[in-house]
Amino acid sequence: MTLLPSPLTQHGQILIVDDSQTKRLKMSMAVKQIGHDVTVIGDGDEALKLIKTQKFDLILLDIYMPKMNGFELLAHLKSDGRYRDIPIIVISSSEAMDDIVQAIKLGAEDFLPSDFNLELLEARLEACLERKRLQDKDKDTLLQLDRLAKAAEHLDQDGLNPKNLDIIDIAERKDAIGNLAFVFLNKSIDVYNRFQHSRQQIVTLKGVFLLLIVGLCFGLRPVLGNLLSNSEYSASNLAVLTSSLTTVFLLIACFISNRRLKLEFSSDTMKKILIWSLVGTVVPIYLLLSVSGHISGIAMSLIMVLEAVAAAIIAGLSGVASVTPRKFTGILIALAGCIWIFLPDLRQNGAFGDIFWIGLAVFVPLAYAIKNVMVGNYFKSFSSALNAQVYVMLLTTFIFIFVSLFEGDFRVPLEPVGSFHYSILLFSLADATAYFLLLKLVTSAGSVFASQKAYTVVLSGLLWSVVILGENLSVNSLPAIAIIIFGVYLVGQKAKLVSPLRKRVLAPQQAVDL
């Protein structure tokens, strides 16, 4: 094995213990000549205290001292695991062979005659320090091997971040152990990346499934809104009925999934709930129920596509997500598709509905997009978001009751149960289900990904419009719908969890040296 350049040939911390001031001074001058750092002390007791607080590479020790003599200090140090490895050279006259033998028996590495010369001092010091260096290196290697063994035990744990293996410093060694640590590290990065990739795929798949269900539920709203708006109830009255029922359904869902409803909120959370209620719920529901009677179910469904575009723009402007060229292109394509569909209709002033109501309907997806970005940012856990959603719906119900009373036409549907009641029930159930699943989506995959529900909402809206309302979808509109969906696809993104870790590469100069 090739040794590392010796750090101690540059510097060693040497402690000189001798009760004679003149001898201490002589030795200190000589040791400094060789290039080491020196600390001197004249007493065995004091030396022991100093060794406990300061690190030394070697001790030069006189034997005959008052209080604690050299033998006693030697015995102390060699019996303590913390200091056993510090090499000790005893200073003795060459004639005192008994003293030298006793010191060696007690664990001294070597002896130095008191009338030493510079060459002899240097030879003895370097020999001892070199042994210490090898000893330290072996000890360090054993400790690192122990850490590698522990890391190997955790190697197959899927979710373990390789950074937590604590072997990165070992992998920087330029020898076989360093190479082994590199292999371990790369292997753990492989395992980790595979696990994260699978997790991402599962989340994306779950996300796509949730998108479909959310789309089917939300897609029902424009269609049912259209049906409900034909009744004799005002928009605010309808909103009271649907939002109160939605609140009940959400409350049940909250108890089933959380088993409790948090009653205390900070003033900051209350403020967020109020904004969410007004911007993200009251405005879109009121608008939806108001415009539904004036534009077709297909038109409303198509307008809902703007939610994805608006979410991407808002997220980009607020710094939540970046607007890449791909997303920007997607926004333009989706808008072009909308214009393609609506332009001929507007010229003919025909089937989709009045331009004023179409313009007003645009604020519905816009409000939903603002809400999605807000919820994704404010509420990081599903349970806290669901909890807040219950309060949002409760607040929304009260606001609609107030609006309805203000408008002076609030009525309770006491007529015999019929299609109107079923529509209200279905609208509320679809709403509650969609909110529940959407919160799951927003808190797990992010608001931008969740906003891609827009195209499933559009597709299901078109489906429900044809199936429930019996509206006709012209063949000429189909390419435009495809363009819109393609545009929204470009705007959207995969649910992203953790960036994959880069594998470490063994440098060419890092040859394994045995």
Q: Please state whether 497 falls in left (phi above 0), alpha (psi between -120 and 50) or beta.
A: alpha
* Tokens matching residue 352: 């989709």
Instruction: Answer yes or no whether residue 143 interacts with other proteins by CB under 8 A.
Output: no
Q: What is the DSSP string of 441-472?
A: HHHHH-HHHHTTHHHHHHHHHHHHIIIII---
Q: Note whether 410 and 401 are within 8 A (CB).
A: yes
Stretch that binds other proteins, among 13-21, 39-47, 212-220, 359-367 (CB under 8 A): 13-21
Query: Is residue 23 a contact point for other proteins (CB under 8 A)?
Result: yes
Asked whether the beta carbons of 70 and 60 are under 8 A apart, the reply is: no
Provide the minimum distance between the beta carbon of 80 and other proteins in the complex, in angstroms, as a whole number: 26
Stretch that binds other proteins, among 27-35, 82-90, 203-211, 417-425 (CB under 8 A): 27-35
Smallest gap from Cβ 68 to other proteins, in A, equals: 13
The owner of tokens 């607080």 is: 53
Considering beta carbons, is residue 115 or 153 the nearer one to other proteins? 115
Give me the DSSP letters along 9-52: GT--EEEEE-S-HHHHHHHHHHHHHHT-EEEEES-HHHHHHHHH
Does 30 participate in binding other proteins (rule CB under 8 A)?
Answer: yes
Reference 91, options 75, 103, 79; nearest CA is: 103
Please report whether residue 25 would count as binding other proteins according to CB under 8 A.
Answer: yes
Gap between the Cα atoms of 177 and 141, Å rounded: 8
CA dihedral 389, 394, 397, 401 (to 10 degrees): -160
When asked if residue 94 is in the footprint of other proteins (CB under 8 A), the reply is: no
CB of 38 to other proteins, least distance (A): 13
Question: Which residue shows structure tokens 């990065």?
Answer: 189
Q: How far apart are CA 149 and CA 126, in angstroms?
A: 34
Q: Which of 22-30, 226-234, 315-323, 458-466 is the region at the interface with other proteins (rule: CB under 8 A)? A: 22-30
User: Which is nearer to other proteins, 20 or 141 (by Cβ)?
Assistant: 20
Say how many residues touch other proteins, by CB under 8 A: 19
What is the closest distance, in whole angstroms, from the C-beta atom of residue 22 to other proteins in the complex? 4
> Which secondary structure element, helix H or strand E, spans residue 437, and what is its range?
helix 419-445
Q: Of the listed pieces 19-27, 201-209, 328-336, 432-440, which binds other proteins according to CB under 8 A?
A: 19-27
One DSSP character per residue, 353-408 reads B-HHHHHHHTHHHHHHHHHHHHHHHH--SHHHHHHHHHHHHHHHHHHHHHHHHHHT
Q: With binding defined as CB under 8 A, does residue 45 bind other proteins?
A: no
From the list 4, 6, 7, 21, which residue makes contact with other proteins (rule: CB under 8 A)? Answer: 21
Cα(457)–Cα(220) distance, integer angstroms: 8
Say if residues 86 and 77 touch (Cβ distance below 8 Å): yes
Q: How many Å separate Cα 327 from the centre of its chain?
A: 24
Match 């350049």 to its residue by tokens: 5
Rounded CA-CA distance 308/365 in Å is 8
Site for other proteins, residues 307 to 336, rule: CB under 8 A: none
For the segment 112-131, give every residue that binds other proteins (CB under 8 A).
Answer: 114-118
Q: By C-beta, is 121 or 217 nearer to other proteins?
A: 121
Does the protein bind other proteins through residue 489 (CB under 8 A)? no
Among residues 4, 6, 11, 29, which is the contact residue for other proteins, using CB under 8 A?
29
Tell me the per-residue interface mask from 63 to 82 with other proteins, x by CB under 8 A, - otherwise: -xxx----------------
CB 9 → other proteins: shortest distance, Å? 19
Buried b (16+ CB within 10 A) or exposed e, 461-476: bbbbbeeebebeeeee
Looking at 20-28, 42-50, 73-81, 155-163, which segment touches other proteins (CB under 8 A)?
Answer: 20-28
Q: How far is the CB of 87 from other proteins (least distance, A)?
A: 22
Question: Pick from 19, 43, 126, 136: which binds other proteins (CB under 8 A)?
Answer: 19
Residue 38 or 210 having the CB closest to other proteins: 38
> Rounded CA gap, 121 and 106, in Å?
21
Of the pair 92, 236, the CB lying nearest other proteins is at 92
- Minimal distance, residue 33 CB to other proteins, in Å: 5
Please report, as residue ranges, which positions from 495 to 514 form the binding site for other proteins (by CB under 8 A): none
Rank residues 23 and 187 by Cβ distance to other proteins and give the closer one.
23
Please state the closest distance from residue 74 (CB atom) to other proteins, in A. 17
To the nearest whole angstrom, how small is the minimum distance from the Cβ of residue 67 to other proteins?
A: 11
CB of 31 to other proteins, least distance (A): 10
Q: Which residues bind other proteins (CB under 8 A)?
A: 19-23, 25-26, 29-30, 33, 64-66, 93, 114-118
